[in-house]
């Protein structure tokens, strides 16, 4: 028998559900949050579920009502859980979808195979109860530093979810069904109220966070914020505006704007306030002296403020301190003025042009253009009548293009000299130094540089060149004459040696003749060569060896001669002693080494720098060299001469016997003090 209390208990729960539906509908339409919409759907399906229960209380079991009630219960559990996930800003687990889908399928299977069985609906209410318990856990995990409504809602949903699990057991018993509906009505009301409490707490906390954020923005803003009321009194000023005006923001509150500005600016400020009252906005730039006596520059953006009914209620100004920018701007202007003055007074051209040979179109050219070319800058740029390339002499244009192209390609400065034809027809020598200008991607933007008058340096260059040429001719003539005198002297000594009957005397005369001949060869080589060792020494050594081979009546085919010289510039004061040393060392090889060995006779001469920067001359032959028993001839003039000349060069002599033969090394500094 149906208890008379079941219908009132259902009506109680249904009435609460209808009221809550209206509340959530109002909140959603007002706030438009998605989680409110999902909770609204949850309460709607709860209302649908209770309506089905009411129908089931009046009538016997109806199949489609049973299916609709169970589906509505599943859907309200799903939307409740989905709303909680949205509220807590978490992603809903993918497992939720198949679980609720399986619940819907079970609703139809239950009606087919277990019609009217409350126990068969246990899986459905396990899902619905689980959704409520999970929602309660989500609410308990909602972080809140200021409010505790989430604790109430969390435990309320957990207890309600546990209560839902007993529905299949208690619903068939009327006495328990009454208590169940009343208890579920209580849970519905308390859950709805606790969710509303959470929502309002969440709204207040969000508002608090926004206020805190706005305060941080205002306090840390690099712009000064100044608000005045409709009477011009200050109602708000942030720290930046206080720094700008040299006073604490608290000191500005309540003071009239006109009292805070300089007396000479009050009329213009008063006019601007009238403009605000008329609804006009303005961006203005001004300068003033603050309370600390500092001159400041500022840009202000002023806007009118209105109350709720649209009446003028004051003004808001956003003020930016641009003092540092103004100072930099003034310095830049002064720097530009100085650069302009310097460029204007340069006796030459400062330019920027396109890299478009052979035209060289000018984009900027300084005032010095008139003095150097006879043309005004305007004739190359603004009132263009010709390009700069037009005044370069045709025979110099290829060289100019080549010099510029080489510098641009290597991205290094270029230096070129060329001639131009001035406006009056005269020829002018110019020196140009410039560089290619590139953007961040490496693309060439143009050329910038300086062109100056090169007439005087060119004349000086020609004078120096002529003077050097004359000096070189004079030096060649001196070397030529010294060589001739020495050859005459060598010939006289040679004639004298033929009449000498004493062999020792004859030997001395012949040695002297060879030494004089070696010095003559030095002057002869200097007459036609530079003093660069790689050019001078090989030529001299070959002549010296050829002369000594002829003197000792040997066959040049029997000799294997190697000469290796590094490129070193030699002072002429070194060449005479160096030539004599070579003569003595090679003569020693001819006299004492080669007569004792079979052909081929090897002679190697090396000249270069060692690691310490000293010059090193080495003469090596493949003779037997000195043995341990060999004694140097104390009265040998050649040996004494080598020692004296080495001492003159501030050098040292060393001898070695090795697999390659006998070597003598002379080591001396290149710079002679």
* Distance between CA atoms of residues 209 and 211, nearest Å: 5
Residue 461 predicted with pLDDT over 70: yes
Residue 635 predicted with pLDDT over 60: no
pLDDT value of residue 183: 72
The backbone torsions φ and ψ at residue 487, rounded to the nearest 5 degrees and listed phi first, read -65, -40
Residues 582 and 657 in one domain: yes
More confident residue, 223 or 180: 223
pLDDT value of residue 489: 66
pLDDT value of residue 418: 94
Residues 338 and 318 in one domain: no
pLDDT band at 565 (very low <50, low <70, confident <90, very high): confident
Mean pLDDT of 426-448: 92
Is 523 among the domain residues?
Answer: no
Neighbours of 301 (CB within 10 A): 14
Is 655 among the domain residues?
Answer: yes
CATH (domain of 130): 1.20.1070
pLDDT value of residue 523: 62
* Distance between CA atoms of residues 18 and 41, nearest Å: 12
Sheet of 348-353, strands arranged across: 362-365, 348-353, 444-453, 427-438, 414-421
pLDDT value of residue 525: 61
> What is the percentage of the chain residues whose pLDDT exceeds 70?
80
Residue 672 predicted with pLDDT over 70: no
Residue 425 predicted with pLDDT over 70: yes
pLDDT value of residue 1: 37
Residues 161 and 47 in one domain: yes
pLDDT band at 3 (very low <50, low <70, confident <90, very high): very low
Is 576 among the domain residues?
Answer: yes
Q: Residue 112: give the domain boundaries.
A: 5-213
Nearest to 222 by CA among 292, 299, 293, 321: 321
User: What percent of the chain is helix, strand and coil (3-state, nearest 5)?
Assistant: 60, 20, 25
Neighbours of 443 (CB within 10 A): 8
Final residue of a structural domain among 161, 195, 213: 213
Is 174 among the domain residues?
Answer: yes
Is 497 among the domain residues?
Answer: no
Mean pLDDT of 311-320: 90
CATH (domain of 298): 3.30.450.20
Mean pLDDT of 517-541: 62
Helices (H), 114-247: 122-140, 149-165, 167-170, 174-220, 239-245
CATH (domain of 611): 3.30.565.10
Residues 209 and 226 in one domain: no
Residue 632 predicted with pLDDT over 70: no
pLDDT value of residue 474: 58
Residues 409 and 269 in one domain: no
pLDDT band at 119 (very low <50, low <70, confident <90, very high): confident
Residue 628 predicted with pLDDT over 60: no
> What is the chain's mean pLDDT, rounded?
80
For residue 327, what are the CA distances in angstroms to 35, 294, 296, 331? 55, 13, 10, 6
pLDDT band at 472 (very low <50, low <70, confident <90, very high): low
Residues 540 and 656 in one domain: yes
* Distance between CA atoms of residues 589 and 399, nearest Å: 55
Residues 126 and 227 in one domain: no
Is 491 among the domain residues?
Answer: no
Residues 295 and 340 in one domain: no
Nearest to 12 by CA among 141, 189, 145: 189
DSSP strands (E only) in 553-614 = 559-565, 601-609
Residues 149 and 285 in one domain: no
Highest mean pLDDT among 344-348, 424-428, 579-583: 424-428
Residues 491 and 483: beta-carbon distance below 8 Å = no
Nearest to 188 by CA among 60, 324, 14, 58: 14
Residue 462 predicted with pLDDT over 80: no
Final residue of a structural domain among 213, 245, 268: 213
Residues 194 and 256 in one domain: no
* Distance between CA atoms of residues 365 and 353, nearest Å: 8
pLDDT in tens, 174-212: 666 666 666 766 777 777 777 777 777 777 777 777 777
Residues 157 and 237 in one domain: no
More confident residue, 531 or 445: 445
Overall domain count for the chain:
4
* Distance between CA atoms of residues 299 and 316, nearest Å: 14
Residues 121 and 247 in one domain: no
């Amino acid at each position: 028998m149906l208890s008379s209390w079941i219908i009132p208990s259902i009506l109680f729960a249904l009435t609460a559900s209808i009221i809550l539906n209206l509340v959530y509908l109002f909140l959603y339409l007002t706030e438009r949050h998605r989680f409110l919409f999902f909770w609204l759907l949850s309460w709607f399906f709860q209302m649908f579920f209770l309506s089905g229960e009411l129908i089931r209380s009046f009538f016997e079991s109806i199949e489609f009502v049973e299916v609709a009630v169970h589906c509505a219960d599943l859907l309200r559990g799903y939307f409740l859980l989905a709303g909680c996930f949205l509220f807590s800003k978490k992603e809903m687990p993918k497992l939720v979808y198949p679980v609720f889908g399986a619940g819907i399928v079970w609703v139809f299977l239950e009606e087919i195979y277990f019609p009217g069985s409350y126990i068969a609906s246990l899986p459905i209410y396990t899902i619905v109860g689980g959704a409520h318990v999970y929602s309660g856990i989500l609410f308990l995990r909602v972080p809140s530093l200021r409010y505790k409504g989430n604790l109430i809602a969390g435990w309320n949903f957990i207890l309600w979810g546990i209560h839902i699990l007993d529905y299949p057991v208690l619903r068939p018993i009327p006495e328990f069904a009454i208590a169940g509906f009343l208890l579920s009505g209580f849970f519905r009301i308390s859950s709805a109220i606790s969710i509303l409490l959470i929502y309002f707490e969440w709204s207040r906390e969000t508002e608090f966070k926004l206020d805190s954020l706005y305060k941080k923005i205002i306090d840390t803003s690099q712009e000064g914020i100044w608000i005045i009321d409709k009477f011009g009194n200050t109602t708000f000023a942030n720290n930046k505006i206080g720094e700008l005006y040299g006073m604490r923001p608290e000191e500005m509150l309540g003071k009239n704007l006109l009292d805070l500005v300089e007396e000479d600016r009050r009329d213009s400020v008063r006019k601007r306030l009238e403009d605000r009252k008329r609804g006009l906005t303005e961006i203005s730039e001004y300068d003033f002296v603050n309370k600390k006596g500092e001159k400041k520059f500022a840009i202000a953006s002023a806007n009118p403020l209105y109350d709720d009914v649209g009446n003028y209620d004051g003004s808001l100004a956003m003020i930016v301190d641009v003092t540092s920018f103004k100072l930099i701007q003034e310095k830049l202007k002064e720097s530009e003025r100085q650069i302009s003055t310097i460029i204007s007074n340069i006796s030459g051209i400062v330019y920027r042009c396109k890299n478009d040979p052979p035209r060289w179109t000018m984009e900027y050219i300084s005032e010095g253009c008139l003095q150097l070319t006879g043309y005004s800058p305007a004739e190359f740029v603004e009132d263009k009548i010709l390009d700069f390339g037009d005044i370069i002499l045709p025979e110099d244009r290829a060289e100019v293009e080549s010099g510029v192209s080489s510098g641009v390609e290597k991205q290094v400065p270029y230096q070129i000299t060329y001639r131009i034809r001035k406006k009056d027809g005269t020829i002018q020598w110019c020196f140009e130094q410039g560089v290619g200008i590139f953007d961040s991607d490496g693309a060439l933007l143009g050329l910038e540089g300086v062109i100056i008058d090169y007439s005087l340096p060119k004349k000086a260059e020609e004078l120096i060149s002529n003077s050097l040429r004359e000096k070189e001719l004079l030096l060649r003539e001196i070397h030529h004459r010294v060589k001739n005198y020495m050859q005459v002297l060598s010939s006289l000594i040679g004639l004298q040696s033929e009449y000498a009957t004493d062999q020792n005397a004859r030997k001395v005369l012949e040695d002297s003749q060879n030494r004089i001949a070696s010095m003559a060869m030095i002057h002869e080589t200097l007459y036609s060569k530079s003093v660069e060792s790689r050019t001078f020494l090989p030529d001299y050594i070959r002549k010296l060896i050829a002369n000594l081979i002829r003197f000792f009546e040997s066959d040049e085919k029997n000799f294997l001669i190697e000469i290796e010289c590094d490129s070193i510039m030699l002072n002429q004061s070194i060449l005479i002693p160096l030539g004599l040393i070579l003569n003595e060392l090679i003569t020693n090889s001819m006299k004492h080494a080669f007569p004792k060995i079979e052909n081929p006779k090897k002679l190697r001469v090396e000249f270069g720098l060692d690691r310490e920067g000293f010059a090193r001359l080495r003469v090596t032959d493949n003779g037997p060299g000195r043995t341990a028993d060999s004694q140097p001839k104390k009265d040998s003039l050649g040996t004494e001469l080598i020692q004296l000349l080495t001492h003159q060069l501030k050098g040292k002599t060393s001898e070695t016997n090795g697999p390659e033969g006998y070597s003598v090394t002379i080591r001396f500094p290149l710079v002679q003090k």
